[in-house]
Amino acid sequence: MTCPPAATCTGPHEARPRVAVLMGPSAGSQYVFSRLASEVDLVAVVKQQRPRREVLRAVFRRGKKLRRGYWLDRLLLGAYTKLRLKRQALACSEYREVRAASTFEPDCEVLRVESINDPAVIEVLQKAKPELVVVLGTSIIKEPVLAAAPCFVNLHAGITPMYRGAHGQFWAVLNRDFDNVGVTLHFVDKGIDTGAIVKQGRFAFDPFIDNLLTLLAKSSVAGAALILNWIYDNRANFRASPTLIPPGPSQLHYSPGLSDYRRFEQVARDMLKDRLIKAA
């Protein structure tokens, strides 16, 4: 039995699961969080907001390992996103839905931290005693935090193990791997999106309207339904949930730059051209 995305996942006489949420600042994380809040008993909420200087340092460090000019490529895509992609994304219903949740605030107290591995996070989890910890867009969680609660699951925007890391659905489109555009729910371990997979969902890439932002929004909407359905189906024992072992290589991806996005746009143009040829 599957719980519909908009339905309540517990009956009138069934206690709601005690859930803690560790989340980042993105609009997608905020959207999934708002959906969870209406379906579970939120016993702890932690929001991570990394200092801008730390984020920029990480981009510079990564650029040294990846390619010359990576940091500039990232900055250019950021500007392109603000000037063009945000306006284009308004044509996507999922993007508008995610944006509408941006002002949601829970009734419970929120702990705000710069590092998700702050000792205060451990203290909050030990005190709250959640049955389940849901991770939404934080940095890597270290073992002391993972030891503070019995079960952690992460909602990842991408199909693992092929598309671990950042913007998995973007890289799937860029690789023309359209069957693997989607979202993954997996248990959290000490690696980067390497935990056992419990559920995956896929959605179609639309070359007419999809861009970097709409793919993230679609991942959030699909992911919210995915995790609510999983919570409903595995309420008795989250850790006993069966896991998937999909075939394929495991690859870690990073945030794209403007040069990557230009190639992404070419993939969309090629798809549109193929459709016109088939329709002729």
CB-based contacts of 74, cutoff 8 Å, min separation 6? 59, 63, 255, 256, 257
Domains, the chain, in order of start with CATH, read 18-279 (3.40.50.12230)
Residue 166: closest CA among 255, 81, 48: 255
251 burial via Cβ count (<10 Å: 0-12, 13-18, 19+): middle
pLDDT at residue 12, as a whole number: 43
Report phi then psi at 245, rounded to 5: -125, 80
pLDDT of residue 5: 43
Q: Which of 68-72, 133-137, 183-187 is least confident? A: 68-72
Q: What is the pLDDT of residues 124-167, one digit of tens each?
A: 999 999 999 999 999 999 999 999 999 999 999 999 999 999 99
pTM score, two decimals?
0.90
Give the span between the Cα atoms of 213 and 88, in whole angstroms: 9
Percent of the chain whose pLDDT exceeds 90: 75
